[in-house]
Amino acid sequence: MPEVFDNLFDMSKRGKVFKDLMSLIASRRNILLAYRNIKSNSGSVCSGIDGLDIEYIKRFPAEKLVKYIQNRFMLYKPQTVRRCIIPKPGSGKRPLGIPTIFDRFAQQCILQVLEPICEAKFQEYSYGFRINRSAEHAIAQCYNAIQNEKLMYAVDVDLKSFFDNVSHSKLIRQLWRLGIRDKKLLSIIKAILKAPVLLPNGEVIHPSKGTPQGGILSPLLANVVLNDLDLMFAQHISTHDTVECHEETNDSSACRKFHEMVSKGICYIRYADDFKVLCRSRSEAESIYKAVTTWLVKVLKLEVNIQKSKITNLKDNYSEFLGFKIKAVKKSDAYVIESSVSDKALCNITSKLIEQIHNIHRSKDSEQANQINIFNSMVRGIHGYFDIATDIQSNCMSIQVQIDNLMNKYFTGLRCNGEISNASIAKAYGESSMLRFFKGIPICPIGYISYRAPIRHDSDACPYTPQGRKSFHKCLRFSENTLKVLHDLAEARIPNASTEYYDNRLAIYAMQHGKCYVTKQFLSTDEVYFHHIIPINKGGTDRFNNLVLVSREVYDLLHAESEDEISESLPKLIQNKSQLKRFNKLRTAMGYPVE
- pLDDT above 90 coverage of the chain, percent: 49
Which of 140-149, 166-175, 250-259, 437-446 comes out lowest in average pLDDT? 250-259
For residues 306 and 321, give the distance between their C-alpha atoms in angstroms, rounded to a whole number: 17
DSSP secondary structure of 470-537: GGG-TT----HHHHHHHHHHHH---TT-BHHHHHHHHHHHHHTTTB-TTT--B--GGGEEEEESS-GG
94-147 pLDDT, tens digit per residue, is 778 889 889 999 999 999 999 999 999 999 889 999 988 999 999 999 999 999
- The DSSP letter of residue 594 is P
| Reduced 3-state DSSP string for 526-574 | HHEEEEECCCHHHCCCCCHHHEEEEEHHHHHHHCCCCHHHHHHHHHHHC
For residues 406 and 398, give the distance between their C-alpha atoms in angstroms, rounded to a whole number: 13
Position 566 scores a pLDDT of 74
Beta carbons within 10 angstroms of residue 476's beta carbon: 9
Position 262 scores a pLDDT of 86
**Contact present, 217 and 193 (Cβ < 8 Å):** no
Strand partners, 334: 331
Q: What angle do CA 113, 114, 120 make, to 5 degrees?
A: 110
For residues 261 and 236, give the distance between their C-alpha atoms in angstroms, rounded to a whole number: 11
Cα dihedral 261, 262, 263, 267, rounded to 10, equals 170
186-239 pLDDT, tens digit per residue, is 999 999 999 998 888 888 989 888 887 878 999 999 999 999 999 999 888 855
Beta carbons within 10 angstroms of residue 397's beta carbon: 15
Beta carbons within 10 angstroms of residue 511's beta carbon: 12
**Contact present, 83 and 77 (Cβ < 8 Å):** no
pLDDT at 185 over 90: yes
| Reduced 3-state DSSP string for 443-463 | ECCCCCCCCCCCCCCCCCCCC
For residues 83 and 202, give the distance between their C-alpha atoms in angstroms, rounded to a whole number: 10
Regarding predicted confidence, which is higher, 251 or 591? 591
Pairing assessment for the beta strands 436-438 and 441-443 based on DSSP bridges: antiparallel
Regarding predicted confidence, which is higher, 575 or 379? 379
Position 89 scores a pLDDT of 62
Position 247 scores a pLDDT of 46
189-201 pLDDT, tens digit per residue, is 999 999 998 888 8
pLDDT at 478 over 70: no
The CA distances from residue 549 to 33, 59, 303, 492, 504, in Å, are 21, 21, 56, 16, 11
Q: Choose among 55, 77, 61: nearest CA to 497.
A: 61
Residue 212's Cα: distance from chain center in Å?
18
pLDDT at 174 over 70: yes
Residue 512's Cα: distance from chain center in Å?
25
Pairing assessment for the beta strands 441-443 and 528-532 based on DSSP bridges: unpaired
Highest mean pLDDT among 172-176, 514-518, 565-569: 172-176
Position 556 scores a pLDDT of 86
526-556 pLDDT, tens digit per residue, is 888 999 999 888 888 999 999 999 998 888 8
The whole-model pTM stands at 0.86
Q: Choose among 222, 265, 67, 228: nearest CA to 129.
A: 222
Q: Choose among 107, 291, 317: nearest CA to 212.
A: 107
For residues 507 and 486, give the distance between their C-alpha atoms in angstroms, rounded to a whole number: 9
For residues 235 and 232, give the distance between their C-alpha atoms in angstroms, rounded to a whole number: 7
Average pLDDT, the chain: 88
Q: Choose among 156, 196, 192, 198: nearest CA to 171.
A: 192
pLDDT at 43 over 70: no
| pLDDT confidence tier of residue 282, bands split at 50, 70 and 90 | very high
Position 241 scores a pLDDT of 47
* Secondary structure of residue 343 in the 3-state scheme: helix
**Contact present, 84 and 96 (Cβ < 8 Å):** yes
Phi-psi category of 358—alpha, beta or left, where left has phi over 0 and alpha has psi -120 to 50? alpha
For residues 336 and 152, give the distance between their C-alpha atoms in angstroms, rounded to a whole number: 11
- Contacts of residues 366-374 at CB distance under 8 Å and 24 or more positions apart, as own/partner, are 368/438, 368/439, 368/441, 369/439, 369/441, 372/438, 372/441, 372/443
419-472 pLDDT, tens digit per residue, is 888 888 999 998 899 999 998 899 999 999 999 999 998 888 888 988 888 766
pLDDT at 484 over 90: no
**Contact present, 544 and 574 (Cβ < 8 Å):** no
